[in-house]
């Protein structure tokens, strides 16, 4: 029977059932929803008049849209954008505005942005998910005044604002109109803010009562990060880039009683450390903390040791003790921590599930002392492990050191002692260590990532095949 025959089963299906089936054609990711004639929902409108009517009357097919503005991107079809928005009716709107390209300052781009603004700004009350990447010079005329609370449905905002070096002050003034749009959005749950540091004050002025996730790659001071904690009482996840103290705008965190400010809901804290974070960690108590990561960006040549921000060891230990938190994830990337300090930190983390430590070229953390302390002295499945056992529940381990040098066999002994508990490993194997190489190359010993496999092969080049074979025979 023909698909188009009026008596076919699919043509006799009730419209509400077809509408439900049509709704399943929506992509999971909003940023993939680019209109195209060969994809739903436009494709559904081209099958027959019945399907077209059902598709048009199914609002959830039209509530999401990706608009690309760029040098090689086609000019947006504004009637089509208007059709999507109008057919969504009163549903929450999800949109992606991707403004990459090299022709930012042209009048054509400004006209495009202005027309998109004319479509979406009047419907700000319907905004739910916004993903915006835009250059400051794409802004044409200022946004119209928007009343407080008008973006009450906005739950997710991913905003990246790009600047060039010309007329920065004028561009800041221009783009600040766009930033003000999102100030009256107290219902926001997720915020990614990639923008110049000067725009941070616009966001700090708002009490984000329901904000749960904040990713802020723009550099801020430790005091600004502390203010974010204060402004976001529901914050669960925060990633921030900590820069130098600004005496003109910041209150010294030392003025706050140590540990007296409690943020019980903060579970995941990630810091890019470009300045000393001692005062920040000393000012807060985080009883719900489960995930902590700290990273120093070391681009290009290694910096001199003295200018690098120190690892606030005593302060971090004090934070763990007064918070009584149960860390399950610890990541330290290029942090100037010693092996003894790392061991002391791990003694406070009995529930740790994942450890990721990566050192810079001029640092040594993975030593015999560390690996020995990390080695189980008894069967890991014993009910009563010694009280000084480090991280008995660890299942994922990453130890990467550019110039690792440990006694042959110590690394293999540590991993073997945790066999059955550890599930994923990514380790640097010392060059020429025959016992370590033999252990990790043994068939079925470990499933390792490609990076570790390549490192292992590199280490094996420093050992002759006869050496490895002789060790195997023993």
pLDDT 10s digits, 121-147: 788 888 888 887 766 555 555 555 555
430 to each of 148, 252, 408, how far by Cα in Å?
Answer: 60, 45, 8
- Residues forming beta bridges with residue 355, ordered by sequence position: 330, 397
Nearest to 307 by CA among 247, 244, 252, 250: 244
Task: At 11, list the tokens.
Answer: 């043509």
Say if CB 136 and CB 172 are below 8 A apart: yes
Low-confidence ranges of the chain (pLDDT < 70): 1-8, 29-33, 70-73, 99-108, 134-150, 162-186, 196-199, 248-250, 253-255, 298-306, 361-362, 380, 382-383, 385, 402, 443-448, 459-474
Q: String of b and e for 291-323 (b: at least 16 CB within 10 Å)?
A: bbbbbbebeeeeeeeeebbebbbebbbbbbebb
What length is written for the chain?
474
Q: Give the strand pairing for 424-427 and 396-400.
A: parallel
Tokens standing for residue 407: 């006694």
Domains present along the chain, CATH in parentheses:
1-61 (no CATH), 326-474 (3.80.10)
Biggest distance spanned by C-alpha atoms of the chain: 81
Give me the half-sphere count of Cα atoms (radius 13 Å) on the Cβ side of residue 140. Answer: 13
Which tokens sit at 225?
């990060």
CA 4 to chain centre: 48
* CA–CA dist 338, 367 (Å, integer): 10
Matching residue, tokens 């221009």: 174
**Of the candidates 321, 360, 356, which has an alpha carbon nearest to the alpha carbon of residue 342?**
356
Q: What's the pLDDT at 433?
A: 77
233 closest CA partner among 265, 191, 186? 265
Alpha carbon separation from 360 to 302, 305, 310, 357 (Å, rounded): 8, 11, 14, 10
**Number of C-beta neighbours around residue 122 at 10 A:** 12
Backbone φ and ψ of 143, nearest 5°: -70, 150
C-beta of residue 10 within 8 angstroms of C-beta of residue 3: yes
Asked whether the beta carbons of 414 and 396 are under 8 A apart, the reply is no
Q: pLDDT value at position 249?
A: 67
Q: Which residue has the tokens 């609370």?
A: 149
DSSP state of 422: B
What residue has token string 């959830």?
60
> Which pLDDT does position 349 carry in this prediction?
92
């Amino acid at each position: 029977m023909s698909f188009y025959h009026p008596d076919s089963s699919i043509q006799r299906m009730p419209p509400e059932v077809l509408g439900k089936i049509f709704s399943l054609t929506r992509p999971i990711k909003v940023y993939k929803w680019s209109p195209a004639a060969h994809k739903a929902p436009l494709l559904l409108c081209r099958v027959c008049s019945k399907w077209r009517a059902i598709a048009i009357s199914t609002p959830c097919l039209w509530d999401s849209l990706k608009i690309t503005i760029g040098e090689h991107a086609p000019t947006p079809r504004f009637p089509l954008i208007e059709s999507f928005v109008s057919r969504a009716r009163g549903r929450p709107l999800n949109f992606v505005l991707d403004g990459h390209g090299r022709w930012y300052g042209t009048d054509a781009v400004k006209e495009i942005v202005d027309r998109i603004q004319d479509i979406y700004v009047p419907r700000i009350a319907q905004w739910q998910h916004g993903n915006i990447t835009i250059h400051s010079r794409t802004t044409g005329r200022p946004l119209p005044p928007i009343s407080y609370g008008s973006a009450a449905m906005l739950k997710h905002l991913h905003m990246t604002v790009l600047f060039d070096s010309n007329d920065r002050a004028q561009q800041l003034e221009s783009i600040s109109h766009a930033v003000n749009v999102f100030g009256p959005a107290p219902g926001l749950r997720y915020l990614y803010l990639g923008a110049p540091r000067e725009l941070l004050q616009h966001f700090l002025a708002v009490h984000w009562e329901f904000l749960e996730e904040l990713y802020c790659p723009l550099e801020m001071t430790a005091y600004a990060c502390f203010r974010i904690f204060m402004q976001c009482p529901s914050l669960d996840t925060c990633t921030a880039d900590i820069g130098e103290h600004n005496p003109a705008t910041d209150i010294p965190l030392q003025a706050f009683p140590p540990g007296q400010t409690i943020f019980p809901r903060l579970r995941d804290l990630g810091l890019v450390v470009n300045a000393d974070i001692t005062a920040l960690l000393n000012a807060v108590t985080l009883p719900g903390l489960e995930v902590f990561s700290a990273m120093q960006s070391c681009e290009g040549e290694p910096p001199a040791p003295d200018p690098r921000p120190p690892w606030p060891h005593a302060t971090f230990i004090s934070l763990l003790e007064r918070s009584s938190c149960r860390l399950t994830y610890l990541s330290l990337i290029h942090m100037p921590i010693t092996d003894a300090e790392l061991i002391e930190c791990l003694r406070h983390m009995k529930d740790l599930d994942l450890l990721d430590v990566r050192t810079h070229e001029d640092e040594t953390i993975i030593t015999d002392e560390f690996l020995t302390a990390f080695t189980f002295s008894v069967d890991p499945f014993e009910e009563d492990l010694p009280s000084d056992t480090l991280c008995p529940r660890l299942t994922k381990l990453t130890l990467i050191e550019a110039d690792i040098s440990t006694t042959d066999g110590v690394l293999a002994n540590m991993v073997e002692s945790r066999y059955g508990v550890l599930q994923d490993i990514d380790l640097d194997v010392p060059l020429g260590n025959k016992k370590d190489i033999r252990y990790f190359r043994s068939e079925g010993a470990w499933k390792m990532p490609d990076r570790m496999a390549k490192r292992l092969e590199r280490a094996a080049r420093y050992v002759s095949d006869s050496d490895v074979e002789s060790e195997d025979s023993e």
